[in-house]
Structure 1
Amino acid sequence: MICITVLLTARNEADVPKVKEHLAKHGALSRAEPGCLRFELYHSESDPRVFILNERWESEELLAQHRLAEGYTTIYVPHVLPLVDRVPHRCELVSG
């Protein structure tokens, strides 16, 4: 399983509604993709410019397919990435 957390910070607070709308569309499409185990979008209450994506994918191959899919190529790359600073984190799930 591949776990990824992505921190996105809108560069301009005026773009926050646009970023939120595009991320919601991207998330809906991503959740429908093969191999997507989890795709959650959070909007920070502490800093309105910050969004957090929590993703889980079955395999590297299916994650690679995600990066070629409609939501990623027609929404995330052209409409979200130009408006945000992005910090991705590959994560290891820690169980207690």
Structure 2
Amino acid sequence: MSELKKWFELPVGAVIDEPGSAIRYKTGSWRTFKPVLDKSKCNDCLICWIYCPDNSIIVQDGKLVGFDYDHCKGCGICAEVCPDKSKAITMVLEHQ
């Protein structure tokens, strides 16, 4: 059996060498669930926008207008933090 490498002998991975280039790397294709907005229930509090780790909430003129599905990974944080009274965001299977 080969000897395990020490941490400092491992190659560096998951590095984007060119700052600001992440928008070119679409990551939503492996998502299982996707967020869906019921605009009639949304009060545009934008709590989902604050918590989204992928900056996938699209806001125009201070209002939630949709999701950037190219970069959304389907984590469901937006649906989880949506206020109890509105629950305007639900997670649905990607291929329904």
TM norm structure 1: 0.37
Larger Rg: 2
More strand by share: 1
More helix by share: 1
RCO greater where, 1 or 2, for CA within 8 Å and sep 6 or more? 1
TM norm structure 2: 0.37
